Amino acid sequence: MNKKPIIIVSGEPYSIFSEIFFKSLKRYKPSKPLILISSKDLLIKQMKELNFNYEINLINDKNTNFQKMNNKKINLVNIDFKFKKTFDKISALSNTYISNSFKAAFNIIKDNKISGLINGPISKKSFLNKKFLGITEFLAHKEKKQNKVAMLIYEKTLAVSPITTHLALKDVAKNLNKIKIINNINLINDFYKKKIKKTPKIAVTGLNPHCESSYVSNEEKKIIIPAIKKLQKNKIVVEGPYPADTIFMPKNSKKFDVIVGMYHDQVLTPSKTLFGFDAINITLGLPYIRISPDHGPNEKMVGKNLSDPQSLIHAIKFLDK
């Protein structure tokens, strides 16, 4: 096969990830080798519960020629996980397991060229424990790229990107600045040119309703407009600020490839309304492409065999190009 592998960290053990992974293998056959980092015992247990049957090829995260592997079996880096017979909730008991899973992924990435890293859903409340806003920031810290990454929720007809990520609404305005907006949009522009092979048309929303406020000097005037002007001087195809309540109307959004918003739900809510979970979450600015399916652990659906694997399939397909 001799192709750069796709690394997959299964993430939260009590989640729907095993189910959507098994379904993805059934529906899509990637040309590049998949390397799954998970617990063998947990994987076998969930296979039995969900009526799937795949053979496992146990491998090491070091000194292995990953590029020559194929996908006839699940290529598994086994991470020990001690779970109870009635393991039925997300808790801090999983933190060491998740941390060790990422360590194994970093070992592979350190010594090998990869196509990208996919991680399954992870509980921000439990694993990150207030140290990081999300996995985006966790990985940025590990790669010493703090404040130099961007979250892109990618769907080929319309992607979105929030300048601030998993941040309380009361903290958004004080965490906005011109440099953040410029860095975010530069990363998006570079990504589209290199990976999508096109120059993106980018729209930027305002922060305040209708891009105005009762204050003499608002964020649009102080931060957003100056950032857009600077980007335009550097030949970036960007416009705005646009009111967030109208930019997603079809006649407006169809003019753009990406809409950049000032906070998480400002752009994620309309994106999920339009595309459901078909989009994928890409972290830009890392030394590798990192993707996660655009949904959480969804523990209420664990074991029901009703979860849709489409977002994970999109993630694998994207890296399999």
Mean per-residue pLDDT, 117-136: 80
Yes or no: say if 277 and 313 are a contact pair by the CB < 8 Å rule: no
Yes or no: say if 239 and 202 are a contact pair by the CB < 8 Å rule: yes
Q: Are residues 1 and 43 in the same domain?
A: yes
Yes or no: say if 16 and 122 are a contact pair by the CB < 8 Å rule: no
What is the Cβ-side half-sphere exposure of residue 46, based on CA atoms within 13 angstroms?
Answer: 25
Total structural domains within the chain: 2
Q: What is the pLDDT of residues 139-180, one digit of tens each?
A: 888 888 888 899 999 999 999 999 999 889 999 999 999 999
Mean per-residue pLDDT, 245-274: 95
Q: Are residues 14 and 61 in the same domain?
A: yes
Yes or no: say if 190 and 232 are a contact pair by the CB < 8 Å rule: no
Q: Are residues 265 and 205 in the same domain?
A: yes
Q: Are residues 10 and 144 in the same domain?
A: yes
Q: Are residues 125 and 192 in the same domain?
A: no
Q: Are residues 157 and 279 in the same domain?
A: yes
Q: What is the pLDDT of residues 73-115, one digit of tens each?
A: 999 999 988 765 545 666 677 888 889 999 999 999 988 889 9
Q: Which residues contact 81 (CB under 8 A, 6 or more apart)?
A: 13, 39, 41, 42, 94, 97
Q: What is the pLDDT of residues 232-258, one digit of tens each?
A: 999 999 999 999 999 999 999 999 999
Q: Is the peptide bond before 13 cis (omega within 30 degrees of 0)?
A: no
Q: Are residues 2 and 131 in the same domain?
A: yes
For residue 214, what pLDDT is reported? 62
Q: Which residues contact 9 (CB under 8 A, 6 or more apart)?
A: 37, 38, 98, 101, 102, 105, 117, 118, 119, 120
For residue 270, what pLDDT is reported? 94
Mean per-residue pLDDT, 175-203: 97
Q: Are residues 278 and 303 in the same domain?
A: no
Q: Are residues 80 and 228 in the same domain?
A: no
Give phi and psi for 287, each to the nearest 5.
-70, -10
Q: Are residues 275 and 300 in the same domain?
A: no
CA 53 to chain centre: 28
3-state secondary structure of 317: helix
Yes or no: say if 18 and 46 are a contact pair by the CB < 8 Å rule: yes
Q: Please tell me the distance from the alpha carbon of residue 133 to that of residue 321, in angstroms, as a whole number.
A: 30
pLDDT band at 215 (very low <50, low <70, confident <90, very high): low
Element counts in the chain: helices (H) and strands (E): 10, 12
Q: Are residues 140 and 161 in the same domain?
A: no
Which structural domain range is residue 214 located in?
Answer: 150-283
Q: What is the CATH number of the domain that holds 15?
A: 3.40.718.10
Radius of gyration of the chain (CA): 20
Q: Are residues 154 and 77 in the same domain?
A: no
For residue 86, what pLDDT is reported? 46
Q: What is the pLDDT of residues 28-62, one digit of tens each?
A: 999 999 999 999 988 998 899 899 999 999 998 88
Q: Which residues contact 73 (CB under 8 A, 6 or more apart)?
A: 54, 55, 56, 57
Q: Is 24 exposed, middle or buried (0-12, 13-18, 19+ CB in 10 A)?
A: buried
pLDDT band at 129 (very low <50, low <70, confident <90, very high): low
